[in-house]
Structure 1
Amino acid sequence: MPSPQFSGWQRKLLKAFAFGAVVQMASLPLFAPEAAAAAPATSTVAAVTSVEPALRPAAGMVSGGATSSRKIEPTYTIQVGLENEIFPVFANHAALQPRDERTWGTVAVTVRNSTDAPLRNRIAVQVRGWSDQEIQIAEMAAGDVRTVLFAPSFLPRLYQNQELTAATVNVQVTDMGGRTVFEQTVPVHLRAADDMYWGQNFKFAPFIASWITPHDPRVELVLSHAKEFVPNRRLPGYEDWKDEAGQERETEIEARAIYRALQAGRVSYVKSSITFGGNNEVSERVRMPRESLRQSAANCIDGVVLFASLFENLGMAPAVVVVPGHAYVGVRVARGSSRYLYFDTALTGRASFEAAVAAAERGLAKYPQSQILSVRVDDARRAGIFPMPQGATTADANLTADFPVDDSEPISKAAPVPAGR
């Protein structure tokens, strides 16, 4: 996976995760009103300034309206996604935000009322065949410029889509009498549902929490097997009646049981992170936990979101930890504790839990704090980053067949661990 390099303010931001103040205008690979309104009136594209270098005008950004040979009329400019690519993870997050509090969206329509009269338009936006239609009313005084942000709810098929796919955004503007005053289609690319856009310097790393799906039936199934690996057949998560030392012991017992259950399910390391589309140097495929369990395969970040899903299901506090070229999972050892138990999920198929813990300790010790990024999942949830939807498929019919448990060949605690892992 890409390697993180962070400035001082980014490290402080991502560790403290004061995210609510950042997930807003020009901070995401989408569009925001204040920046668009700042573009000069002569521009044919409503420029959007952003700290994200990849965000720049794309061929599909279109404008319509008055020219010098026609009477003065309002003009309309459309912008879509990140360079005309829509990432499901961002589209889902945008759709979950209250419209009145929205500071960015999947589609932006900038209206320039160049006339000397007030304007009232009905604007409808839809990704044909992929989303619901969203309608908003734009009311503007003479001479005003306004960017209207749209985040239509997408149909389940978007979250089942596994490849880069062409689609069409339709924008229709009518006056209040129903007369069409502007209509335009924009060709776009829909990224695969499991495409994660990390961004430059891992700016969007907190969105990895969208891959953590604690309520997935397969996650529940793993936990039903994991309880068989503890003496009392219980996975209670944190128990507040215990002191911190007691909770820490219980956390280690439960983490080991989950690890052994996944070993019994024959989950092992398979690297499969290739993705298609733009910005490939800061994007990668991340399997959803259900896919890792269905295929009994996971690379490092796949394994991290899988284990994090299992911990979150139990009401525990997982963390995703990224270092150059690798990732580890962590779980808070006790409620309210500042300490975490870390281990290397890439070793699940070939080494013991103790070896995985030791590998994480060695791996994290190799890097200065400036090269270690930690995303705490409970902070991400408070910032409004929730699991991505997962539409049902025919493969969901028999969960047990998807996750066969075979403990006939237990993995030896003495299994060798490669250097650096």
Structure 2
Amino acid sequence: MRTNKFALGLLLAGLMFPATVRSETSVIAGWGNQLYPSYLFATATISRDDFEEENVLGDPLGLIGVEIEAQEDEQSVTVKVECDEFLEPTEFTCELAEEGEVYEIRPTIRYRYARLSDCHQATPATLSIRVQVGDEAPEVHQRVVLFRSINDCPFVYVDGEDEIDTSYTYAAYVNEDHPFVDKLLREALDIGIVNEFMGYQGESPESVMRQVYALWDLMVSRGVKYSDITTTSTRSGIVGSQHIRLIEDTVNNSQANCVDGSVLFVSMLRKIGINAGLVLEPEHCFVYFTTGDGAENIYGLETTAMGYQVKTPKRVFKVLKNAIDEEDRYDESWPNFVYAVTVATKKLREADEREENDEGMELTIINVGAHRENGFLAIPCRTHEEFVGFNFVVNEDDEEDGEEDWDEDDEQEEDEWDDEDEEEDEEWSDDDEEDEEEDWDA
């Protein structure tokens, strides 16, 4: 039998010099191939120290990269990511320390943030990820991803069997430095409920509450109405997200869902130095703010009540009654302001009681101030829209049409509030609790 000496030689060479096994890589491309500009803005400058993991190389919060198994100790890998529309070319080189270990390589991506802030509609783009392991020939992976609208706020995503909370992204929509906020504050001063915004320098809860009411009255005067627009043209099976208008859209269009109005109000309150944040409950959002130190000075504000026609309640928080002079309690804004504070504050205090009784906390608090200290950024204003100012000229016919429709006998503001029957530190009497709940059931 004739022997193929050449083939035998190749076989022996293969035994003496085994072929190099190529490292298999899998692409990491956002959450379910979707990227959220709002999340990228929110987390752009926060410290990564608390998120570091042993087998994650590069940016522990990065959403683009590769997963790869090391074929030898101290194996060199270079990853280059390109996507001309949304990011600058980004290259990252690292070493895989231990053979057989699986590593995630997530470069710190050089995003084009100006382009991300202009992304008002979900836009597909192609990622090109080039991976070179040692002296091997480079592999190029391409993946089409969807860059979501800047208005889409991811608050949770599913990672295997775990749900990861990303509700801190809501803080990115609060923008104390938005140029429209300064203009709104100027309009509120022109109305005259307050002569200046001083935050806590007035040294009384009443002073703070009066400033909050001044901003509320401005929003009502501007005709800001509740509008439940949350539907988007895209869906994700692993990410829960909420559509949120940017401040310029809420102001100029006079429409706000629960989050839109809350984001705008918190932005204004923080601008004047009042501690405020967002409160999330399943499928809803409202505002919290503080009139001073201590839990008793934490109040809620239900922004969906803006412009809502209600009767002034039988019982009013003392701080409200003492803060607002009667001549400044405008029919269009005062009753729904009292309603907004009462209903939201009740939710906060009931939730606090449940937590103290180990019954669980159904509310999620977004402490915007704390998130700012930790480096969470606001989405910067890049609008080209002009600020639509408030028309202070009131048409008398329109004013008559806008009057509330109830009998004078039903307006039971302060007369039904008997300070003499209560202790100094009580906000209202326990005897009236049942009546109050009925009056405030919208």
**TM-score, with normalisation over the residues of structure 1?**
0.71
Q: Report % sequence identity.
A: 18
| Alpha-carbon contact 2:258-2:284 (below 8 Å) kept | yes
2:344 alignment partner in structure 1: 360
Matches within 5 A, 1:172-191: 172-174=130-132, 181-191=138-148
Matched residue type, 2:82: Q
Q: Structure 2 residue aligned with 1:150, among 83, 97, 107?
A: 107
Q: Structure 2 residue aligned with 1:373, among 361, 364, 368?
A: 364
- Summarize the Cα distance change of 1:323–1:146 in structure 2 as closer, same or farther, 3 Å threshold: closer
Is the aligned partner of 1:404 residue 2:390?
yes
| Alpha-carbon contact 1:332-1:341 (below 8 Å) kept | yes
Matches within 5 A, 1:275-294: 275=232, 276-279=234-237, 282-294=240-252
Matched residue type, 2:154: Y
1:255 alignment partner in structure 2: 212
**Partner SS for 2:339:** helix
Matched residue type, 2:367: R
| Alpha-carbon contact 1:158-1:193 (below 8 Å) kept | yes
Matches within 5 A, 1:266-415: 266-275=223-232, 276-279=234-237, 282-334=240-292, 339-351=297-309, 352=333, 353-361=337-345, 368=354, 370-393=361-384, 395=385, 398-399=386-387, 402-406=388-392, 408=394
| Alpha-carbon contact 2:174-2:378 (below 8 Å) kept | yes
Deviation at 1:146, TM superposition (A): 2.7
Deviation at 1:133, TM superposition (A): 2.5
- Summarize the Cα distance change of 1:249–1:230 in structure 2 as closer, same or farther, 3 Å threshold: farther
* CA distance in structure 2 between the partners assigned to 1:340 and 1:418 by the alignment: 22
**Partner SS for 1:133:** strand
1:134 alignment partner in structure 2: 90
- Report how many aligned residue pairs link the two structures: 341
1:221 alignment partner in structure 2: 183
1:55 alignment partner in structure 2: none
Matches within 5 A, 1:15-34: none
Deviation at 1:237, TM superposition (A): 1.3
Superposed CA offset, 1:197-254 (max 9, x none): 2227893222211110111111111111112244552011121xx54xx1x1111111
Deviation at 1:261, TM superposition (A): 1.3
**Partner SS for 2:149:** coil
* CA distance in structure 2 between the partners assigned to 1:127 and 1:133 by the alignment: 7
Matched residue type, 1:71: T
**TM-score, with normalisation over the residues of structure 2?**
0.68
CA RMSD of aligned residues (A): 3.2
Matched residue type, 2:298: Y
Superposed CA offset, 1:323-346 (max 9, x none): 344322111112676622222111
1:81 alignment partner in structure 2: 30
- Summarize the Cα distance change of 1:232–1:301 in structure 2 as closer, same or farther, 3 Å threshold: closer
- Summarize the Cα distance change of 1:224–1:80 in structure 2 as closer, same or farther, 3 Å threshold: same
* CA distance in structure 2 between the partners assigned to 1:331 and 1:237 by the alignment: 11
* CA distance in structure 1 between the partners assigned to 2:211 and 2:115 by the alignment: 36
**Partner SS for 1:215:** coil
The higher radius of gyration belongs to 2
* CA distance in structure 2 between the partners assigned to 1:151 and 1:338 by the alignment: 44
